[in-house]
Structure formats: structure tokens, C-alpha cells
């Protein structure tokens, strides 16, 4: 159906929205894979065609909000606001409220899949590129969308665990590493910790890290409990797979056996649609990230060839991007984009919100749900949802 306006002729509009309404709009748009500008435009059109007066939205405490609306639609909308005796801010708020009310989103997404939970690993041989923050942020965004998600801290440095304010597993206690090696007592599910934030609706869990993962490479090479090294992580996580829609692995900056188990875990299983599971690669807009990706790519190809499996490269996440760094940053970003396959699925700006969330030991999407970095995390989630 052709829209009754030219989508190319848009103008920037600025208004104010209460933070809760703005967050709800961002979340719902992400859930439904709709651009915010299109959601607002649809809401305005529905508002204009509604004859009955709509409930007043409390806009007190509103913060600046801007988007782009087709010029013709905005002109008519302004006229209608005047004729109804409403401010433009109230009209926008009512239109957004109307769109939200007429575009519900079911959070009952649990469907047991014969191939198990979708498995996403965050991998790059280089440290400090943001694997932990992007793993946590993508998991938070997926949980926000209604999926049940488990994010596994698979790095002995335990950054993800600490960033979320959780306790690391004790060196002598059961851990993911001990379960992989057949040395753990009890059930893996007992190690999961829920993230208590209203936005995640009890759907987000973390398997905390333990420093015993430093020993994993050496033990995988010698243990008698693991017949095939590459399957160790899969065997350990198998008991919880049907409890989740997604399992996200925060990988170590390593090219050893530990990383082999993670890459193998993300392979396309028999009967699984290509691209359903796979690897996201956090990078930065500088040369050392490219060198690290080359090494990771070689490791992936070795496993693909040796084990006759398919590994989907789902995309690059360019993290901590700051165009003010000039040519180094902008040219490097362009180089990532020019690769094309895999694509750049998100560019995360370097801003204070993530640093503050980490400092306060809070999930980013709970601490600053409307910030640009939170929006980028939702973009990542949409790319794999």
C-alpha cells in the first residue's frame, strides 16, 4: 500500500516527552523493528483520524525529543492541534501513546526449538574492545524485547560479572569451567543469577565468571573427561538450553582451546536455519582491531575446515566510536563497512553513560535506557532477533 505522503520529504520536529513515555516508545519500536520516526508518523496519522478526544498525557518533567516527520503530515498535525486546543507537545504525546496502545507486543515468546537456544558469542582476540559490555547490552535488549536470555561470563577476567555488580564464583566452587571438565558437583542451573530490573521482566540471567577459567586451556588439552575438546562448552550448557531463547557468551581474548569450544558452540546445527546462531565481533575503529580479527578469522576457518561445520559471522560491532579522533577513526569505520560480509550491525558511540553504569554496577538499559548507547544495544538485538 502506498503511503499518503512522500517519506522522503521529512522535517525535523522537536518536542518534549516524559522519560517513561520516551523509553516505552524506544523499546516498543525496537521490539517491532520499526523506526521511531515511522512509529511517530503512524501515531500522528491515527491521532488525526480519531474523532473522539483522547486522554491527556502528563508531560510534566518532559525532556527534549526530536524525530523526523513528513512535512505535509506535520503541517496538518499542527493545524489539528490548534483546532483541538492542544499544545504541539501534548499532541505528540497523545499520538505516541495512541501508537503504543494500538501496537502491543507479546512477551510470551517461549518456543522450544528442536535445535536448542539460539547461541551468540562475542569474540575477538583483542582485549578491551567491549566484548563484555556488548554481550551484556545485547542480552539486556533481548530480555527487554521479551526473550528469555542467559549471558555467560566465559572470561577468566570476569569483567561482565563485575560490571553487573555480581559476585565472582569462588575458585573452589562449581563453575562453568568445572562443569566442562566433569569436575563439578550439582546442577549448572544452580549457578544462574537473575538480573532484577523491571525492564527485563525476570527474563535475564547471568552465569557468573570464575578465575579458574585461566586453567581451562591446559586442562582441556589433557583431561580424560572430555572426549572431544570442542564440544565441552556445548555439553556443559545443554541442560539449560531449553530454558532460554538465547544464550550469549562473553568470550575471552584468546585463540586457545577455550575459544575453540565457544566457536564450535556457535556453529549452525543440523536442522538450524543459517544465521540463527553465530559470532558477533566487537571491534574499535583502529588498526589493531583489524589485526585481531584476522587472527580470529583464521581460527574460525581452521575449525570450519577441520570439523566440516558452518560458522555464521553475524556482524561487526564498532564500539567506542568517536569521530572527533579524525581520520584514524572515520577511515577505519569506513574500512569495516566496506568489508560488507559480515556487515557492521551497530556503531556504539563513546559516551559517559556506559562508564557510569559500570561504575555503579548497573545494567546499562536499566541505568540509562534512553541514551544513544542503549539504542545501539537494541540495534544489535534487532539484528539477531
In what side-by-side order are the strands of the sheet with 313-321? 193-194, 204-207, 149-153, 246-250, 118-122, 278-283, 313-321, 344-349
Assign a CATH topology to domain 118-384: Rossmann fold (3.40.50)
Domain with CATH 3.40.50.300 in the chain: 118-384
Instruction: Outline where DSSP puts E strands in the chain.
Output: 10-17, 63-70, 118-122, 149-153, 193-194, 204-207, 246-250, 278-283, 313-321, 344-349
| Chain centroid to CA 37 | 21
What pairing do the DSSP bridges indicate for beta strands 149-153 and 313-321? Answer: unpaired
Rounded to an integer, the average pLDDT of 297-320 is 94
Beta strands in 98-192 (DSSP E): 118-122, 149-153
Q: Where are the beta strands (DSSP E) in 231-379?
A: 246-250, 278-283, 313-321, 344-349
CA distance 135 to 27: 18
User: Does the pLDDT of residue 121 top 60, yes or no?
Assistant: yes
Per-residue pLDDT for 135 more than 90?
yes
* Percent of the chain surpassing pLDDT 90: 66
Q: Is the pLDDT of residue 294 over 50?
A: yes
What pLDDT band is residue 105 in, cutting at 50, 70 and 90? confident
Q: What is the CATH number of domain 10-102?
A: 1.10.1220
Is residue 222 within 8 Å of 183, Cβ to Cβ? no
* Rounded Cα–Cα distance for residues 53 and 38 (Å): 23
pLDDT tens digits for range 270-282:
999 999 999 999 9
The answer on pLDDT for 320 being more than 50 is yes
- Output the nine-digit C-alpha cell for 191: 549457578
User: CA 369, 371, 377 angle in degrees (round to 5)?
Assistant: 75
Query: Phi and psi at residue 318, in whole multiples of 5°?
Result: -85, 110
pLDDT at 80: 94
Res. 356: pLDDT tops 70: yes
CA angle 358, 360, 362 (to 5 degrees): 70
Look at residue 250 and tell me whether its pLDDT is greater than 70. Answer: yes
Name the segment(s) of the chain with CATH classification 1.10.1220.
10-102
Within 10 Å of residue 165's Cβ, how many Cβ atoms? 12
Q: Which three cell numbers stand for residue 277?
A: 546462531
Q: Which of 148, 139, 190 is nearest to 364 (CA)?
A: 139
Amino acid at each position: 500500500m502506498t503511503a499518503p505522503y512522500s517519506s522522503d520529504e521529512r522535517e525535523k520536529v522537536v518536542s518534549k516527552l516524559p522519560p517513561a513515555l520516551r523509553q516505552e516508545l524506544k523499546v516498543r519500536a525496537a521490539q517491532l523493528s520499526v523506526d521511531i520516526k515511522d512509529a511517530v508518523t503512524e501515531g500522528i496519522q491515527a491521532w488525526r483520524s480519531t474523532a473522539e478526544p483522547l486522554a491527556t498525557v502528563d508531560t510534566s518533567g518532559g525532556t527534549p525529543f526530536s524525530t523526523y516527520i513528513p512535512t505535509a503530515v506535520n503541517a496538518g498535525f499542527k493545524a489539528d492541534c490548534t483546532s483541538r486546543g492542544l499544545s504541539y507537545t501534548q499532541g505528540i504525546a497523545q499520538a505516541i501513546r495512541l501508537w503504543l496502545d494500538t501496537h502491543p507486543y507479546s512477551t510470551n515468546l517461549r518456543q522450544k526449538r528442536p535445535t536448542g537456544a539460539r547461541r551468540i558469542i562475542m569474540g575477538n582476540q583483542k582485549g578491551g574492545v567491549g566484548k563484555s559490555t556488548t554481550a551484556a547490552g545485547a542480552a539486556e535488549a533481548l530480555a527487554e524485547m521479551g526473550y528469555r536470555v542467559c549471558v555467560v561470563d566465559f572470561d577468566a577476567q570476569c569483567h561482565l560479572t563485575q560490571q553487573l555488580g555480581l559476585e565472582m564464583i569462588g575458585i573452589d566452587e562449581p563453575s562453568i569451567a568445572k562443569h566442562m571438565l566433569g569436575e563439578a558437583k550439582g546442577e549448572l542451573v544452580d549457578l544462574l543469577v537473575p538480573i532484577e530490573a523491571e525492564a527485563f521482566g525476570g527474563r535475564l540471567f547471568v552465569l557468573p565468571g570464575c578465575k579458574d577459567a585461566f586453567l581451562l586451556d591446559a586442562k582441556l588439552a589433557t583431561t580424560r573427561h572430555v572426549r572431544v575438546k570442542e564440544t565441552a562448552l556445548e555439553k556443559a550448557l545443554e541442560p539449560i538450553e531449553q530454558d532460554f531463547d538465547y544464550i550469549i557468551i562473553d568470550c575471552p581474548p584468546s585463540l586457545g582451546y577455550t575459544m575453540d569450544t565457544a566457536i564450535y558452540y556457535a556453529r549452525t546445527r543440523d536442522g538450524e536455519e543459517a544465521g540463527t546462531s553465530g559470532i558477533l565481533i566487537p571491534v574499535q575503529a583502529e588498526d589493531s582491531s583489524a589485526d585481531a580479527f584476522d587472527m580470529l578469522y583464521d581460527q574460525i576457518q581452521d575449525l570450519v575446515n577441520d570439523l566440516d561445520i558452518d560458522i555464521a559471522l553475524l556482524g561487526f560491532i564498532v564500539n567506542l566510536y568517536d569521530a572527533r579522533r579524525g581520520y584514524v577513526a572515520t577511515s577505519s569505520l569506513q574500512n569495516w563497512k566496506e568489508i560488507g560480509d559480515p556487515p557492521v550491525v551497530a556503531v556504539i558511540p563513546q559516551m559517559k553513560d556506559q562508564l557510569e553504569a559500570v561504575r555503579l554496577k548497573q545494567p546499562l538499559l536499566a541505568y540509562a535506557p534512553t541514551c544513544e548507547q542503549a539504542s545501539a544495544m537494541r540495534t544489535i538485538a534487532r539484528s539477531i532477533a
